[in-house]
Amino acid sequence: MEYVNKLKHQVSEFWNSRNKVQKISLILGALLVILTAGLLGYFISRPSYSPLFTNLSMQDAGEIVKRLEDMKIPYKIADGGKTILVESKDVYKTRLNLAQEGLPKGGVLGFSDIFNKTKLGTTDWERQLQYTQALQGELTRTIEEMEQVESARVHIVQPRESLFIEPNAQKEPSAAVFLKLKPGVEIAEEEIRGIINLVAHSVEGLKPENITIVDEFGRVLSNIPLSEEQNTKEEINSQLVIQNNFQKQLQANVQSLLEQIFGPGNVAVRVNAQLNFDKKTVESRLFTPVSSETGDGILRSVQELREHFSGTGSVPTGNPGTGTNIPGYQQPNTNGTSNYQKTEVIRNYEMNESKENVTVAPGTVKKLTVSVVVNRDLNDEEKDKIATLVGNAIGYDIQRDQITVEGMTFNNQLADILSKQLAEENQRREMQRLLIIISAIAAAILFIIAHRIIAMKRRRMEEEKLAYELAAAQQAASQLSDDVSADNREVFSEIEKLARKRPEDVAKILRTWLNEE
């Protein structure tokens, strides 16, 4: 107790020894320390919230909020109801619990959601609508599992069957798929074709060509070949485009070359190119004789037969054949000993053979036909020269290509009429442009003149006003000069000189004095 009293006494002495400013500083410092400690404690003890789900639909957000309230889990809503936050320690546990209940559903309903709500007395048409809605939801969830897709929507249109319409006359089912891709991600044709096949095989009677896929920018992604026939058509169209571009390029080259000689508009060129788009592989086998330098070639196999006979026995004599055997039989010669030897050697040599496989790329030139018409009469020599120039420009092959050069007068009436009309139109535009420029210049001159007149009138009015003020000041100064002493007359004379030298400044000072009064 004594210690407490002593402490109180020391605090009282310390407080009383301070002046007023120091006391206020101590109070403010203590309040600042208490406030800082309180804020730190509040932020430290306040629970940290983390996003549980983001970018939710209103239906999913409502169901999740209701389920969180049932589970008595504190939550917060942000981003206009699209984001739900819970305490950081409960994020993963809450996600697992909600996932077991099928939340969030992604704004779509599946088969389980539809069939759980089936009521008694539902008509067949209502069941069909529920089935279509559930099928759309299941397809949406499946497509959203793709890595490139952020969100998706599937709309299926199934025509209602009727007893009064023949089956062949009824409309076919169709489907539309909306894809929102992840930022910076492009979807490939194979993946689009996979989505089309997924939807087509999920809906009875739905054909792939009746499926449309659109992205968030409104681009149609389903314009890709789906069958072999479409692939063939696309390939043919591509070949036609390549052939037309090739013809245009050759035609432009020949046209520019000849126009530099005969002048623009005096040459007409048409090129017809036949390209071979067949892709083939040529295999050639070449057999060459063995050269004298390498000898007999490469020995592949050897077959050797040897026979040997020796002894004192008899050996058949005479020539072989029926001539010596008929009519009689030749008696063997028994005089002396006999020795028989036979040697046979067969050698097989490998032939020199070379194999070559050549793959011919599609797009090679099969035939070129070039027609050139010049706006003048040409003799045979000039035609030959032009044909030679054109041939060098297109890579002429005498066994493959054909060049025709003719000279005749062009009918330029239509071109002259068009050029005349174009010149008149250009002249009319130039006149309009000139009138606009003249009008703008006149308007600018009138504006400058009006501005000058207004400025001169304003200046004249200011000068008149200033003259009036100076006259009034001079009159006042003359009246005062009669009343003042001789010592002050010099001051007034100086003021008068200043007013004559700098009337504008003096007028401003007088105007200020009058306003103050």
Per-residue pLDDT tens over the stretch 395-448: 888 888 899 998 888 776 766 777 788 888 888 888 888 888 888 888 888 888
Domain boundary among 230, 257, 292: 230
Domain boundary among 35, 67, 101: 101
Question: Largest alpha-carbon pair distance within the chain?
Answer: 199
Residue 349, domain member (yes or no) = no
Q: Work out the average pLDDT over 465-487.
A: 61
pLDDT at 377: 86
Task: With beta carbons less than 8 A apart as the criterion, state whether 181 and 214 touch.
Answer: no
- The pLDDT score that the predictor gives to residue 13 is 76
Q: Is the dihedral of CA 241, 247, 250, 255 positive or negative?
A: negative
Residue 151 lies in a domain: yes
| H or E stretch at 36 | helix 20-45
Q: Are residues 169 and 259 in the same domain?
A: no
Average pLDDT estimate for 363-390:
88
CATH code of 252's domain: 3.30.300.30
Q: What is the pLDDT of residue 30?
A: 79
Kindly state the tokens that stand for 476. Answer: 């006042």
Q: Are residues 250 and 392 in the same domain?
A: yes
- Residue 122 and residue 26 in one domain: no
Most confidently predicted of 220-229, 337-346, 366-375: 366-375
Whether residue 115 is found in the same domain as residue 189: yes
Q: Does residue 269 have a pLDDT over 80? A: yes
- The model's confidence at residue 294, banded by pLDDT at 50, 70 and 90, is low
pLDDT band, very low/low/confident/very high, at 92 (cuts 50, 70, 90):
confident
pLDDT band at residue 7 using 50, 70 and 90 as cut-offs: confident
More confident call, 446 vs 466: 446
**pLDDT value at 282 more than 80:** no
More confident residue, 322 or 278: 278
What pLDDT sits at residue 323?
56
- As for how many domains the chain has, the answer is 5
Same domain, 421 and 396: no
Extract the tokens encoding 123: 């008509």
Question: Average pLDDT of 12-27?
Answer: 76
Average pLDDT (15-23) is 75
The answer to whether residue 153 is domain-embedded is yes
**What is the pLDDT at residue 421?**
81
CA distances from 405 to 272, 377, 378, 389, 400 (A): 14, 11, 9, 11, 17
Q: 118 with 209, same domain? A: yes
Per the model's pLDDT, the better-predicted residue between 364 and 470 turns out to be 364
Q: Is residue 496 part of a domain?
A: no
Looking at the fold, whether 131 and 205 belong to one and the same domain comes out as: yes
Q: Are 132 and 214 in a shared domain? A: yes
117-131, 257-271, 307-321, 336-350: which has the minimum mean pLDDT?
307-321
Residue 59 lies in a domain: yes
Least confident of 3-7, 178-182, 220-224: 3-7
Counting other chains too, the contacts that 492-501 makes at CB distance below 8 Å and 24 or more residues apart are 499/470, 499/473, 499/474
Residue 71 falls inside a structural domain: yes
Q: In what order do the strands lie in the sheet with 211-215?
A: 149-157, 174-181, 211-215
**Which helix (H) or strand (E) segment is 16 a member of?**
helix 2-16
pLDDT of 333 over the 80 cut: no
User: Is 32's pLDDT higher than 60?
Assistant: yes
Q: Is residue 352 part of a domain?
A: no
Residues 127 and 223 in one domain: yes
Cα 394–Cα 396–Cα 401 angle in degrees, nearest 5: 110
pLDDT tens string 352-362? 677 777 776 77
Q: Which H or E run includes 412?
A: none
Spatial distance between the Cα atoms of 152 and 175, rounded to a whole number of angstroms: 13
pLDDT band at 483 (very low <50, low <70, confident <90, very high): low
Which residue segment(s) compose the domain that 161 sits in? Answer: 111-230
Strands (E), 149-201: 149-157, 174-181
Q: Prior bond to 327 cis, omega within 30?
A: yes
Q: What is the pLDDT of residue 355?
A: 76
Pair 371, 403 in one domain: yes
- Position 345 scores a pLDDT of 80
pLDDT for 105 beyond 70: no
Tell me whether residue 322 is in a domain. no
* pLDDT tens digits, one per residue of 132-190: 888 888 888 888 888 888 888 888 888 776 655 555 556 788 999 999 888 888 888 88
Element at 288 (helix H, strand E): strand 280-288
Burial group, residue 426, by CB count within 10 angstroms (0-12, 13-18, 19+) = exposed
Give the CATH number for residue 95.
3.30.70
Mean pLDDT value across the chain: 76
Q: What is the pLDDT of residue 94?
A: 81
Q: Is the dihedral of CA 273, 278, 279, 280 positive or negative?
A: negative
Lowest mean pLDDT among 66-80, 92-106, 121-135, 307-321: 307-321
Judge if 259 and 403 occupy the same domain. yes
Same domain for 252 and 387: yes
